[in-house]
């Protein structure tokens, strides 16, 4: 059976940064298992082309403490930066390897991925993020309109959607609305509250500009009760009695912790959040978490920093254990 010192699950910003920090600390071999065919699947899939990647996200400034860092740039530039880290540190990332089981055997972990990959390691870091499970609205989304409903922004948006509804009140809702408006769609943005309070100033200014230009219509204090198929579209039934038909609806409601995955690995989850200590080690000795999984309000810089802390913790607690191997 293949053996490694550390197995990292997920090659997003957090997973890549863990591998970078571990390599820089002289720990080898470190194997990263990624379920998609490329690094940073969340960014590829949910960031629209040309999206500005904010170093200060959701108004929270995070000072970098580790090796990985970035300045505000475009999606494409950010992905290039990550490719550069992978090249510079010669990271061993295995693609198309979705991890489906993490077993503890005596003093080691056995990580099962893809069809028949099994790797043993004394330490495992789970960095799978929260966007494998984008949040859904509470009501049922009928299957007849599935091709008109999007959970989260999508990088690829069909050109023929001319009248669209975006639901949400955060940065990704604002960015999605602006992106769709710039592609020529007539955009409606529905938000439950009377005012936006989570959107950063740049996105708010961009949003307001398009509202002034008549490209985006704000629907503040509106809430949807349900959606249903309509001829040539999807009908949104609002709680105030209004009914409107759209070509497509984009829900930008964030993501949530993959509780089942964590629980199956033995990790204690309190409420919706996994229990971790100051180095993001869980109640399972040797099993660490990094990135969005450990934050209430995650961001790329926070993910990078969590990776630095995790590797500090590994060095402090498990160096001897790593030397012995499995
Ligand atoms: C639309 C949108 C806009 C955003 N804009 C910004 C911004 O401007 N600035 C900013 O700082 N943050 C932004 N964020 C947040 C940022 O993307 C996240 O905080 C960051 O990606 C978290 O990194 P992560 O590595 O923890 O998780 P992710 O980036 O989600 O990476 C997780 C990786 O794990 C892989 N994976 C999942 N399950 C498995 C499995 N079972 N086995 C193997 N691999 C698996 C996934 O394919 C993925 O590659 C935005 C998020 C969204 C959705």
**123-164 pLDDT per residue, tens:** 999 999 998 878 899 999 999 999 999 987 666 677 788 999
Å from CA of 98 to ligand 1 middle: 15
Q: Which CATH class is domain 143-251?
A: alpha beta
Instruction: Select from 50, 202, 300 the residue to mutate for testing ligand 1; criterion: most ligand atoms less than 8 Å from CB.
Output: 300
- The DSSP bridge pattern shows strands 123-126 and 287-289 to be parallel
- Beta-strand ranges (E) seen in 153-209 are 163-167, 186-191
Q: Is the pLDDT of residue 71 over 90?
A: yes
Tokens 């160096």, residue located: 319
Task: Supply the residue whose CA is at minimum distance from atom 35 of ligand 1.
Answer: 10
The answer to whether domain 2-132+255-324 and domain 143-251 are alike in fold is yes
- pLDDT in the model for residue 256: 76
- With a 6 Å cutoff on the Cβ, whether 34 touches ligand 1 is yes
Query: Which atom of ligand 1 is least distant from the CA of 132?
Result: 37
Fold of 2-132+255-324: FAD/NAD(P)-binding domain (3.50.50)
Per-domain boundaries in the chain: 2-132+255-324, 143-251
pLDDT at res. 154: 67
**Residue 309 pLDDT > 90, yes or no?**
yes
> With contact defined as beta carbons under 8 Å apart, do 81 and 73 qualify?
yes
Going by CA atoms, what residue is nearest to atom 45 of ligand 1? 10
- Residue 97 CA to ligand 1 centre (angstroms): 17
Does the pLDDT value for residue 320 go beyond 70?
Answer: yes
Atom of ligand 1 nearest to the CA of 15: 25
For the chain, what is the total number of helices (H) and then of strands (E)? 7, 21
Q: Whose CA is nearest to atom 22 of ligand 1?
A: 292
């Amino acid at each position: 059976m293949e053996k490694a010192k550390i197995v990292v699950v997920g090659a997003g910003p957090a997973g890549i940064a863990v591998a970078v920090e571990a390599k820089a600390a002289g720990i080898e071999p470190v194997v990263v298992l990624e379920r998609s065919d490329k690094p940073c699947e969340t960014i590829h899939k949910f960031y629209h082309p040309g999206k500005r990647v904010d170093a200060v996200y959701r108004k929270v400034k995070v000072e970098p403490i580790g090796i990985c860092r970035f300045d505000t740039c475009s999606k494409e530039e950010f992905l290039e930066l990550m490719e550069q880290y992978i090249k510079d540190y010669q990271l061993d990332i295995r693609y198309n390897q979705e991890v489906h089981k993490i077993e503890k055997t005596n003093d080691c972990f056995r990580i099962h991925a893809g069809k028949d990959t099994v790797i043993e390691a004394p330490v495992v870091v789970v960095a799978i993020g929260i966007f494998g499970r984008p949040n859904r609205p509470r009501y049922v989304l009928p299957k007849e309109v599935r091709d008109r409903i999007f959970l989260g922004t999508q990088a690829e948006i069909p050109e023929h959607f001319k009248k669209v509804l975006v639901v949400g009140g955060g940065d990704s809702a604002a960015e999605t609305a602006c992106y769709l408006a710039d592609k020529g769609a007539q955009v409606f943005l529905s938000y439950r509250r009377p005012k936006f309070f989570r959107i950063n100033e740049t996105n708010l200014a961009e949003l307001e500009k398009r509202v002034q230009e008549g490209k985006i219509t704000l629907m503040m204090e509106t809430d949807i009760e349900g959606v249903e198929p309509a001829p040539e579209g999807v009908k949104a039934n609002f709680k105030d009695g209004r009914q409107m038909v759209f070509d497509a609806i984009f829900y930008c409601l964030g993501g949530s912790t993959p509780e089942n995955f964590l629980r199956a690995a033995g990790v204690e989850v309190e409420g919706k959040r996994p229990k971790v200590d100051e180095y993001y080690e869980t109640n399972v000795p040797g099993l660490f978490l990094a990135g969005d999984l450990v934050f209430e309000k995650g961001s790329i810089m926070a993910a990078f920093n969590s990776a630095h802390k995790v590797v500090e913790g590994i060095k402090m607690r498990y160096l001897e254990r790593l030397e012995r191997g499995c």
